[in-house]
Amino acid sequence: MEKLEQFLGGILELNPNIDIELIERAYRKAEQMHEGQLRKSGEPYLIHPVEVARILADLGMDENAIIAGLLHDAVEDTPYSQRDLLRDFGAEVALLVDGVTKLGSLVIESKEERQAENLRKMFLAMSKDIRVLIIKLADRLHNLRTINYMNDDQIIEKCKETLEIYAPLASRLGIYAMKFELEDIALKHLDPEVYSELDAQVSSRRDERERGIRLVIDEIRGNLGELDIEFEITGRSKHFYSIYRKMKYQNKHLEEIFDLTAVRVIVDTVRDCYAVLGAVHTMWRPLPGRFKDYIAMPKPNLYQSLHTTVLSDSGEPFEIQIRTKAMHRIAEYGIAAHWKYKEGVDLGQEEVKLAWLRQTLEWQNDMNDPREFVETLKMDLFSNQVFVFTPKGDVIELPAGSTPLDFAFKIHSGVGAKCVGAKVNGKMVPIDYVLKHGEIVDIITSSNSKGPSIDWLKIAKSSNARSKIRQWLKKENRTGSLERGRDLLERAVRRKGLEPQSVIKPQWVARAAKHMNLATAEELYNAICHGGVMLSKAVAALSSIYEEESQSAAKKLEREIEREDAAARRQRENRRKERDDVCVEGVDNLLIRLARCCNPVPGDGITGFITKGRGVTVHRADCPNVLSVMEEERGRIIEVSWAKSEQGKPYDVDAAVFADDRKGLLSDISRVCEDMDAHITGVSAKSANDGMVNILMTFTIENTGQMENVLRALKGVSGVAEVHRSSM
């Protein structure tokens, strides 16, 4: 592993003005907190945060982002708390780390829900500081670079998530260097045969293509010399995943992909870009339909460039990209370029260019189902864009496949709600017409419009429009549709011979709505108000759920009876076992049980108390219940001792922990118990009003010595105020 001096020297070389002393302090803190931890490769864990910080430094990020990269796992995986981070490095670093940190204390059943909630948390943090996402992307990139040490299932899961979420997010930020590497690594592991075949095919003709590119570059250089402009010319190869997508989704062979290699011309000004384009089109014949002007109409991630495909003298097509130096920086680093090339960053200036993020935050608030949030996010990230115009000439960007409804709601929610029709290029079209690049759209509104209907959700393609339609329908529900829909459904269920209270349960109605491709129960009730077909579909869906749940309930009852029988058998076996745990002086064949009030374990001083009808109950000698026995009852106290055969056998011990209610507390406690070979078998926690939490836990130990060591170690956990033995 590189030494600290080399790491700091590399960062200073990239940014001589950075606060290197602060970064050194963060490095030493990360080194201290991760000491002894290893990655799955067997290497020191510190390698990961250092490499994440290095990626951030290469992107030109500031010291706070680099520090967050160094410490992004410390709060989650070590005793170092968010409060410690705030104290040592300030609120800005603490915000960045918290945005990247996964949800720790939330109890979530499914992996999909946890993924969705982690993404929601990250998006909320992104709205406050976009660097949260850049740090997360750097974290994911290094994890993919070292993914070989994970098992096959983990590799597939991480690579799929990368292609579905993180690579598209890198594209949205315009950080193409990171996007391409994420995609290529993911493809290599998800489909190694395709990757190897692509590698072989591309490599077989690499020398030939490179010779051709050198000839093209020489010819362009010779012709541009007459224009009296400054320029740079380079060649570049297309990344494997980009080739793979074109071959798969456009059904093309490798030979049909024109931009396997491309020539890039970088100049000083926009005027120079168009001058170079004119020169290129006089040198070679441009292919129709292959010219794209991203300077006049930039991509939403700030990308600007001219793209044209021309035929070489030998008849081979090749692509030429023309852009300014400033555009090239944006193309390489995207939003991160504003840290790399500006002194002091004002993210407010980029608010318009990050409109997609604001829209995502808007529509995610309308979704109760986290899985729906993830699916909608994937759809938004993967969608291509279509650019259309208002009658005044303003450019409106929409997802590909959008309709006039999407256009109307993009203009304003009021325009969308009053929409009754649309004109495209001066001709009337239906509201489900699919818009194409360059069309002029004019929305027709009416004050007499009844507003959105449930059917509009099937027509609208953009998450923005669908969110606004849902909001309107919810408002409409509050004025009576909800009650009318529920009443109609109850009547229909009764006609089918079922009791409404047994069938129309909130969770079942929500399931029926999903089955009918509706987002919520409210949408279902609203749809019922607008047609009998929806009512019959809803009754059929609820009847099916009712039958399914009835069968499930019967099976559940059978399993419960089986569990009760098994529990009774275990109780009898435990009683027989307890008779061997403890010896009663001078007495044999007597029912003996351990007291739950003090929960004695081998090694504790113990005493027995004769309980009427229940044999002997064994207490700890210092148990308050025994010490407070009245004088007239003391004759029932007898001497008992642990059987020698029981020494070293595992026993359950209950402990109470009183601590600061902080993130990562349970994780730290679990790690301490694991280190002490004390297996946790049960845990419950209850928050107090003063920012503290009471944790009751049960763990398995072999003797009182081990128990005392565990309690002592728990007292050393950060934020723990008190630890003592207890009963659950």
User: What mean pLDDT, rounded, does the chain reach?
Assistant: 77
Q: Is the pLDDT of residue 39 over 70?
A: yes
Domain boundary among 345, 375, 405: 345
Q: Are residues 15 and 66 in the same domain?
A: yes
Q: Is the pLDDT of residue 568 over 60?
A: no
Domain boundary among 580, 602, 625: 580
Structural domain count of the chain: 6
Mean pLDDT of 527-532: 68
Q: Are residues 60 and 187 in the same domain?
A: yes
Name the residue with higher pLDDT: 293 or 628.
293
Percentage above 90 pLDDT, the chain: 12
Q: Are residues 673 and 638 in the same domain?
A: no
| CB 325 within 8 Å of CB 315 | no
Q: What is the pLDDT of residue 554?
A: 57
Nearest CA-CA partner of 423 in 415, 433, 413: 433
Q: Are residues 559 and 622 in the same domain?
A: no
The DSSP letter of residue 425 is T
Q: Are residues 232 and 100 in the same domain?
A: no
pLDDT in tens, 404-425: 999 998 888 888 888 888 999 8
Q: What is the pLDDT of residue 521?
A: 78
Q: Are residues 403 and 331 in the same domain?
A: no
Catalytic residue among 24, 31, 58, 77: 77
d(CA 160, CA 138): 17
Tokens 């009416």 sit at which residue?
446
Q: Are residues 368 and 492 in the same domain?
A: no
Catalytic residue among 19, 31, 58, 76: 76
Q: Are residues 234 and 116 in the same domain?
A: no
- Most confident range (mean pLDDT) of 25-29, 193-197, 224-228, 339-343 is 25-29
Determine how many CB atoms are found less than 10 A away from the CB of residue 471. Answer: 17
Q: Are residues 473 and 556 in the same domain?
A: yes
Structure token pair of residue 338: 């504003």
Residue burial 452-468, b: 16+ Cβ < 10 Å; e: rest? bbbebbebbbbbbbbbb
Secondary structure of residue 598 in the 3-state scheme = coil
Q: What is the pLDDT of residue 563?
A: 61
Q: What is the pLDDT of residue 585?
A: 66
Q: Is the pLDDT of residue 62 over 60?
A: yes
| 304-318, 363-377, 450-464, 515-529: segment of lowest average pLDDT | 363-377
Q: Are residues 254 and 132 in the same domain?
A: no
pLDDT in tens, 118-146: 666 666 566 567 788 889 899 999 999 99
Q: What is the pLDDT of residue 442?
A: 92
Q: Is the pLDDT of residue 107 over 60?
A: no
Tell me the residue type at 633: E
Q: Is the pLDDT of residue 361 over 70?
A: no
Task: Give the chain's end-to-end CA distance (angstroms, integer).
Answer: 48
Q: What is the pLDDT of residue 321?
A: 92
76 tagged catalytic: yes
Count Cα neighbours of 726 within 13 Å in the Cβ-side half-sphere. Answer: 15
Decide: residue 581, CB within 10 A, 0-12 exposed, 13-18 middle, 19+ buried. buried
Listed in sequence order, the residues at least 6 apart from 593 whose beta carbon sits closer than 8 Å to its beta carbon are: 575, 578, 614, 615, 616, 617, 618
Structure token pair of residue 473: 């329908």
Mean pLDDT of 35-42: 86
Give the domain range for residue 214: 201-345
Q: What is the pLDDT of residue 617?
A: 83
Helices 206-224, 192-204: axis angle to 10 degrees equals: 60
Tokens 């995502």 sit at which residue?
360
Q: Are residues 451 and 487 in the same domain?
A: no
| CB 363 within 8 Å of CB 375 | no
- Most confident range (mean pLDDT) of 14-28, 205-219, 332-346, 508-522 is 14-28
d(CA 648, CA 226): 91
Residue burial 713-723, b: 16+ Cβ < 10 Å; e: rest? bbeebbbbeeb
Nearest CA-CA partner of 417 in 468, 463, 370: 468
Q: Is the pLDDT of residue 566 over 70?
A: no
Q: Are residues 53 and 170 in the same domain?
A: yes
Percentage above 70 pLDDT, the chain: 76
Name the residue with higher pLDDT: 130 or 367.
130
Q: How far is CA 327 from CA 41, 75, 176, 372, in A?
A: 40, 38, 13, 36
Structure token pair of residue 262: 């491309």
Q: Identify the band that residue 258 occupies on the pLDDT scale cut at 50, 70 and 90.
A: low
77 tagged catalytic: yes
The DSSP element (H or E) to which 57 belongs, if any, is helix 47-58
